[in-house]
Structure 1
Amino acid sequence: MAMANNNTPALRFPSFTEEWEEKTLGEVFKTYSGGTPDTTKKKTYYGGTIPFIRSAEINKEETELFLTQEGLENSSAKLVNKGDLLVALYGANSGDSAIAKINGAINQAVLCLQSENSNVFVQNFLLHNRELIIQKYLQGGQGNLSGEIIKSIRVPFPSSKEQQKIAACLSSLDDLITAAVERLEGLQQHKKGLLQQLFPREGSNTPELRFAGFTGEWEEKTLGEVLSYIQPTPYIVESTVYDPAGTPVLTAGKTFVLGYTDEADGIFTNLPTIIFDDFTTESRYINFPFKVKSSAIKMLTLKDDNNDLYFLYSLMSTIDFTVGAHKRYWISEFQNLIVSIPSLPEQQKIASCLSSLDTLIAKQQERIALLKTHKKGLLQQLFPNY
């Protein structure tokens, strides 16, 4: 390992000692962006065989739109090759970069960079410094980048061999992340299929798939007959200036853990419970003490010991419910939904199966998070400070 200076990284592979040479991307790369064929000529310009790569699709293997050869020739759209370096100039993902996974054509919102240098090396440099680039060139993160801006970015380049060594290391890690994500997606698809089979379809009182020893129709009940709700008011966190550790503050949405608090009062401990967002109808199964931020969260608990809470949580995830107006739904509609429920032993069997699968999914998500954290740390060490 070598000590870092302005143009060398903190971590280097053995035998590499030379200082890196700083150049602009414009000095090293041939760059160009594309264009969009006339959208009024969809019958002749669109629907062909040439993938049309737009800014949100630079990292994808498939595109929504395809161009005809006539559309390509009568527009500013430009062809790119698999392996080219692409940068999104416009849109919500402005500043994102990727290695093209397919041959195709790009529009004006995408910049293509081609050179003899390692595209993977440069793409990882851009990935590592994306936020700094956005802050420097897009005040407040709003607006568009341009080809001239990207070409003006100064990048420290090591020798070609060191570029390839770094690129190979990061590509191997990317392969591990991709494989882990694919396994996660497989587990999630498996669960989706199980949910469709383990719970009755609309109009039926028995599921397609049952465990051995269970027969007979399930009993129809409303959710309000089996679940009680608890208002969140006593459990709402007083301060939203969160701590690095303590009691978790939860939401039912994707963020889930908003932060942590050291507040000792008003901690919900009637566990397990289901937290239910009254506005979005999203829910989470919780088996640890917590607080909440929003008055929109209701805590759902069993009315008696004749049902399994994890089964009911899983059942709720299969309900096809459309959220319309911005209003509270549990009391007005959701608790009145009619569902089919089996005996307690069958509920427990289904809950055990789905809980085990959810544990595998959670562990896979943790593995992906660890791999991404490891890559972030490597990027910080393998590239000089921008």
Structure 2
Amino acid sequence: MEQKNLVPKRRFKEFQNASAWEQRAVSELADRYDNFRIPITASNRVAGSTPYYGANGIQDYVEGFTHDGEFILVAEDGANDLQNYPVHYVNGKVWVNNHAHVLQAKSEIADNKFLMNAMKYMNIEPYLVGGGRSKLNADVMMKISFRVPELAEQKLIGSFFASLDHLITLHQRKLEKMKALKSAYLSEMFPAEGERVPKRRFAGFTQAWEQRKLGEMMEVTSVKRIHQSDWTDEGVRFLRARDIVCASKGEEPTDYLYISQEKYDEYSRISGKVKVGDLLVTGVGTIGVPLLVTQEEPLYFKDGNIIWFKNEKKLDGNFFYYSFIGESIQKYIRDVAGIGTVGTYTIDSGKKTPIQIPSYEEQEKIGNFFKQLDHLITLHQRKLKKLQNIKKAYLNEMFV
């Protein structure tokens, strides 16, 4: 049993019968080059092409460098994430401030890429000292030990994860590019403030857009209040503002809420039923976040926290949704929310919300265009998440 713990679950074929991994301290595997670190205040930095590293990665780009070569940077203090401790592999010229330790693998016994992954995903918390600003002391770091294989296997593992990281980075860049493209289109395919036509249009549409207030076009309201004692573990979905915020981020809430079918039927006879094409918008917390109703399944929501726009096909649902996340309406919401500690978007503000609308045909084209763009973004997000999960699984199986 002891021997099984000295080798990983998954191993490259050529090393399946190799010797067990050995316990080694960081001091045996790497040299430390903290003495070359130099912090630069933001006001004294000279813009350049050299990455300027702190505890959590690149902070800026500057002229000059403190280190040139292949190194591992380990957060000394100020780390943002203790579960995924900030450890970075660098190769080339970098400038490092005094918030990151600088290690370099001893080439005859260790591989930098392997060590980076081994240190990044080990449990570093027991070695940290301090309160709100946890610190990894140099002497403590050099005494940290973990199991390592022979150098040839380290290099193969390090190279494998470097290739996987490269693939993940490519997908991250694709995702960021798609999101930037969406942002650019939102600014160009809806009229700017004071304008009546957008910069970019589908062919065949030339007519000026019409300025309206949503309260003139549809009922803007809420629902009869549901008390906490009426919440259940199953039944009709009950939405809070934070559930809408979660949905806008592509996330799942950790605590779904429901109300009984009987309570839903009773209250819906008073307030009406949410229908496909309606828009629910957060009025508290993170305000102005819209949710387009796209399914027939019944749902209810928390009054006062969510504003209900009863669209009834006055506007194309997708166009309505993307209008709401555009800068014009979001700016209006920021302006009317107030400057206190807790901004609110109310039913009255909802009624006065200005919107610019083209013909229904143009609305459909715009709404469908952004819907397809969001579909592509979601696909990229899923691919990225899948790769990240694959890496996590391999890390668990390929390290002891």
Q: When the two structures are superposed, what TM-score results if normalisation uses the length of structure 2? A: 0.78
In structure 1, the partner of 2:209 is 218
Shift of 1:346: 1.0
1:108-257 correspondence runs (5 A):
108-115=98-105, 116=107, 117-129=110-122, 132-135=123-126, 137=128, 143-226=134-217, 228-231=220-223, 233-234=225-226, 250-253=243-246, 254=249, 256-257=251-252
Q: Map 1:48-127 to 2 at 5 A.
A: 49=48, 51=50, 53-56=52-55, 58=57, 60=58, 63-64=59-60, 66=62, 79-81=66-68, 83-93=70-80, 95-100=85-90, 103-115=93-105, 116=107, 117-127=110-120
* Rounded Cα–Cα distance in structure 2 between residues aligned with 1:296 and 1:32: 58
Equivalent-residue separation in structure 2 for 1:191 and 1:84 (angstroms): 37
* Aligned-partner residue type, residue 88 of structure 1: A
Structure 2: gaps spanning 5 or more residues: 265-272
- 2:283 — aligned with what? 278
Deviation at 1:98, TM superposition (A): 1.0
Q: Which residue of 2 aligns with 1:14?
A: 13
What secondary structure is seen at the aligned counterpart in 2 of 1:26? helix
Q: What stretches of structure 1 of length at least 5 have no aligned partner? A: 73-78
Bigger drift between 143-152 and 221-230 goes to 221-230
Aligned to 1:225, the other structure's residue is in SS state helix
Q: In the superposition, relative to structure 1, how do residues 26 and 176 fare at CA in structure 2: closer, same or farther (>3 Å)?
A: same
Q: Deviations over 1:254-294 (max 9, x none)?
A: 47421254745278863344342213323343435587897
Return closer, same or farther for 1:344/1:56 CA change in 2, 3 Å cut-off: farther
Shift in alpha-carbon separation, 1:350–1:106, aligned structure 2, 3 A: same
* 3-state DSSP of counterpart to 2:356: strand
Task: Kindly tell me the number of residue pairs found equivalent between the two proteins.
Answer: 363
1:27 alignment counterpart: 28
| Superposed CA RMSD | 3.5
CA distance in 2, matches of 1:215, 1:50: 46
TM-score for the superposition, normalised by structure 1:
0.81
Partner of 2:358: 342
1:1-44: CA deviations, max 9, x gaps? x997332111111121210111111221111335555759x5xx
Distance 2:27 2:298 in 1: 52
**Does the C-alpha gap of structure 1 residues 255 and 87 become closer, same or farther in structure 2, counting only changes over 3 Å?**
farther
Deviation at 1:178, TM superposition (A): 1.2
State the partner residue of 1:307. Answer: 315
Corresponding residue for 1:76?
none
